[in-house]
Structure 1
Amino acid sequence: MDTLTMDLAGPGRDVQVGRKSPYPEEFRKDAVALYRAAAGKRTYAAVAADLGITAESLRTWVRKDEAQAVPEGRDGSVSAAEDLARLRAENARLLKAEKEWQPEREILGRTAAYFAQEVK
């Protein structure tokens, strides 16, 4: 949960103020993994637009994840959770691309069948 600490009643009497994110933790992790998978080839805005979120939300999640990151092992391996998040983001991207290409494949299939009949 994103919170802001405010001193409303004097020293030592901090109150937690904030709101729960409308996005589940898994979605936020997948969004961060998707941004990182682009390896600098896509902007925050481009990745965020694909996910239907604001660029500032994505930027905040990436920064928060960087701040909480545990140093990788000496061999440069990533944790299982990071790898899973990266794979889920990649899977989501591929499924979306497949849905976008489906109508094109159907049209090309019909066109190929038409020309195959013309050649006979």
Structure 2
Amino acid sequence: MREQYMRTGEGFLLVFSVTDRGSFEEIYKFQRQILRVKDRDEFPMILIGNKADLDHQRQVTQEEGQQLARQLKVTYMEASAKIRMNVDQAFHELVRVIRKFQEQECPPSPEPTGKEKDKKGCHCVIF
């Protein structure tokens, strides 16, 4: 079932809990699985360190999250679903990353001139 979601997804939030080192250590595996299922070397993803409001229980530092994001070549954000910190921003950033990726995959074609019609083209829809 997970791979079906991966096949149809346009982009992914890779979320781990900053209070759980085990969830952080699983991220690399999930990212690799997504790339394998998509048969790509890169794909729109953002790394999210959740539960950022629980600083006193933190097991993963912000620097570790940023370092992993650099390694995976993705954006890193910290969030807290409990206090709604960066939740909307994470989804907005993911949409930006998806759109940028899609534009690179299929840049807009120039306006057709005269009787020329460009029947090729990419159509991208984000739900």
TM-score, L = length of structure 2: 0.29
Higher share of residues assigned helix: 1
Normalised TM-score (structure 1):
0.30
Of structures 1 and 2, the one scoring higher in RCO (CA 8 A, sep 6+) is 2
